Structure formats: structure tokens, C-alpha cells
């Protein structure tokens, strides 16, 4: 592997690709993405991005073909279990959990069928693209079942007579309902994460990875935080501070021409809801501004 460039694998096209590209962009990594090219280069950092199918990402990281990968935990877990089953050596680490790609792996059965607990599925044929996760769960519960491995269109397997139940990705559950199914058991919760091989990286690569992760943390923190400005009577400052216990100490400055009034600047660690705004107003705060923060480095 090249030692003068960091190589990151992301999904080429699908549900993780837009967010993965956005993450790189928000971290200041400019990539000149070329259609149908396996590898795209960064214009401003020593980073190459490999665009592949999401199923290939865990293997590329574990085998050391790329340094980092952005992938769903569902796909990662399946690949890890598959390799463990084959007694292969696995070396990887989750560097960071991300706030996109949120979904779950659930069992679905026909809406009209009764369900009490997992034992109701004993002996059934279950269609899935995730046989190893399913197997691990059912083996732990001592429930027997037959696997019908499908790489796509799992939701129609029951109607096609291939299976009695399905084990598939769910986000809102709408797809299940529109196929006449109901979700009866969540088995795995997933979101995207950044993984890396546990190889000893050169100091050069370590540095880029640290910068990348610190920028991701900054972007996430900034997205969750808000900058608040308001005018308030100086004897109410303590009451306002109490409303923002998780925040850092506010900055307070004088308000020109208003003797007993001050301006407060607060960086809140969480989203500001209307209830907080109303409490501020009831304390006598005026000119309340809540602003988004673009970047944050601490
Ligand atoms: P590929 O061609 O890369 O193999 P795919 O068809 O297997 O793509 P997608 O449907 O694009 O995969 O889903 C990719 C990943 O996105 C899933 O493995 C999961 O981690 C996550 N995901 C799935 N459904 C959703 C959803 N509704 N919302 C957000 N993330 C999802
Ligand atoms: Zn896939």
C-alpha cells in the first residue's frame, strides 16, 4: 500500500454514498469525483477515495487494501461473522460511529400471521442477505430455522413462495407494510461508522487520520450546538445560566444606552427547542437569536 497517501473506501452509489461524500467535504477534503472511476484523488490533501459496493468495504479494510472505510455496522458485522466462521484472522477497529445510515435489521412476517415470541419462527424458512447475523441470533436462542439467502428483493420472498419470513433492513417500516408484512423483532441496530485496519500506520498516516477524526468531531459538535445571543436584565443572568447547564460559561457584555441590561452570548451543546426560547422570554430576555454553528475546534 502507498505510504504517502491515505486511502479511504466509501460506497459508490446507494444510501451511504451521499452522506459519506458530504462528510469528506465538511472535513475540508476536496475530492474530484470522476464518474465510473474506482479511485478519485483529493485536490488538497494526500487522500485517495475508493468508490466501491458497500459489501466490499469491510474486507478491503480488514485485508489492508485501504486504510479507512465508511460502512454500515450491519454490513461490517456480517462480514466479521462470516470470516470468523471460516476461522480467518480479523483485524480492524471502529474509529468513530457516525450519525447517518440509521436503520435496523428486523424479522418480518405476513401481517395476518400471529406472533408471540421468537419461538413462533421455529422451523420456518427465512429469506435474508444477512445469514450470519441471523444464524448467530437464532443459535443463541436455540431456535432452528432454514436460511434462504438472497442478495436483493428480500421483501418479496414470501409472496414468491421462497420463504415464510424475512430478515431485512428496515428504516421507517413503510416498505414492509406495502408488501403486506409486519415487523415482529428487531435483531440488530445499525448506523454508519468509520473503520480502520489495526496495522501500524506510519506517523504520516496517523497524522492525517487524527486530523480527519478531529474535523469530524468538530463538524458533529457544531451541528449539535447552537450560538445564542440575547438581551437580559443583569439580575437575571444567573437564571439564564441555569437553563444551559451543559454549556460553557457565557460571555457577557454591556448593552449601549441600557444601564441594567446586558448581552449574553452562549454556545449551547444541544438543539434549542421552543420551550427554552419561551422560558428565556418569561425571564425577560429580548432580541433572542439562535444561530447555527458551522465549525468548532476545541
Ligand atoms: P451496494 O450496491 O453498494 O451493494 P446496497 O443496495 O447493498 O448497495 P443500500 O441500499 O445503498 O445498499 O444501503 C447501504 C447501507 O445503507 C445499508 O447496508 C445500511 O447500512 C444503510 N441503510 C439501509 N437502509 C437505509 C435507510 N433507509 N436509511 C439510511 N440508511 C440505510
Ligand atoms: Zn450492498
In order along its 298 residues, the chain shows pLDDT tens digits of 567 899 999 999 999 999 999 999 999 999 999 888 999 999 999 999 999 999 999 999 999 999 999 999 999 999 999 999 999 989 999 999 999 999 999 999 999 999 999 999 999 999 999 999 999 999 999 999 999 999 999 999 999 999 999 999 998 888 899 999 999 999 999 999 999 987 778 999 999 999 999 999 998 888 888 999 999 999 999 999 999 887 788 999 999 988 899 999 999 887 777 888 999 999 999 999 999 998 888 7
| Topology at the third CATH level for domain 6-100+192-222 | D-Maltodextrin-Binding Protein; domain 2 (3.40.190)
Residues with a CB atom less than 6 Å from ligand 1: 11, 14-16, 53-55, 72, 74-75, 101-103, 169, 171, 190
Sheet with strand 286-292: strands edge to edge: 251-254, 261-268, 226-233, 286-292
CATH C-level class of 103-189? alpha beta
Surrounding ion ligand 2 within 5 Å at CB are 54-55
DSSP 68: E
Atom of ligand 1 nearest to the CA of 192: 20
Is it true that 103-189 and 225-292 share their CATH fold? no
Taking the domains of the chain in order of start, what are their residue ranges?
Answer: 6-100+192-222, 103-189, 225-292
**Cβ contact 92:58 at 8 Å:** yes
For residue 34, how far is its CA from the centre of ligand 2 (angstroms)?
A: 21
Reply yes or no on domain 225-292 having CATH 2.40.50.140: no
For 177-211, letters b (16+ CB in 10 Å) and e give: eebebbbbbebbebebbbbbbeeebeeebeebbee
Only one residue has cell 497517501, namely 5
Q: Relative to the alpha carbon of 71, which ligand is closest?
A: 1
Amino acid at each position: 500500500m502507498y505510504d504517502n497517501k491515505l486511502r479511504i473506501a466509501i460506497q459508490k452509489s446507494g444510501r451511504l454514498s451521499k452522506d459519506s461524500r458530504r462528510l469528506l467535504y465538511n472535513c475540508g477534503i476536496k475530492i474530484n469525483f470522476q464518474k465510473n472511476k474506482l479511485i478519485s484523488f483529493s485536490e488538497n490533501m494526500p487522500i485517495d477515495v475508493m468508490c466501491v459496493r458497500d459489501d466490499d468495504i469491510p474486507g478491503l479494510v480488514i485485508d489492508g487494501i485501504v486504510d479507512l472505510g465508511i460502512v454500515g455496522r450491519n454490513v461490517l458485522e456480517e462480514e466479521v461473522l462470516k470470516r470468523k466462521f471460516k476461522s480467518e484472522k480479523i483485524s480492524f477497529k471502529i474509529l468513530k460511529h457516525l450519525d447517518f445510515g440509521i436503520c435496523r435489521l428486523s424479522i418480518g412476517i405476513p401481517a395476518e400471521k400471529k406472533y408471540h415470541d421468537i419461538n413462533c419462527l421455529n422451523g420456518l424458512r427465512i429469506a435474508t442477505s444477512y445469514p450470519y447475523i441471523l444464524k448467530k441470533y437464532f443459535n443463541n436462542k436455540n431456535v432452528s430455522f432454514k436460511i434462504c439467502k438472497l442478495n436483493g428483493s428480500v421483501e418479496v420472498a414470501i409472496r414468491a413462495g421462497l420463504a415464510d419470513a424475512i430478515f431485512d433492513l428496515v428504516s421507517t417500516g413503510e416498505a414492509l407494510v406495502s408488501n403486506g408484512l409486519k415487523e415482529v423483532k428487531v435483531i440488530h441496530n445499525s448506523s454508519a461508522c468509520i473503520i480502520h485496519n489495526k496495522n501500524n500506520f506510519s506517523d504520516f498516516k496517523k497524522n492525517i487520520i487524527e486530523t480527519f477524526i478531529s474535523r469530524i468531531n468538530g463538524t458533529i459538535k457544531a451541528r449539535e450546538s447552537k450560538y445564542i445571543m440575547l438581551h437580559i436584565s443583569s439580575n437575571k443572568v444567573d437564571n439564564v445560566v441555569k437553563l444551559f447547564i451543559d454549556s460553557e460559561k457565557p460571555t457577557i457584555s454591556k448593552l449601549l444606552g441600557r444601564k441594567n441590561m446586558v448581552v449574553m452570548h452562549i454556545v449551547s451543546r444541544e438543539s434549542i427547542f421552543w420551550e427554552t426560547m419561551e422560558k428565556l422570554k418569561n425571564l425577560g430576555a429580548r432580541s433572542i437569536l439562535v444561530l447555527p454553528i458551522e465549525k468548532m475546534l476545541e
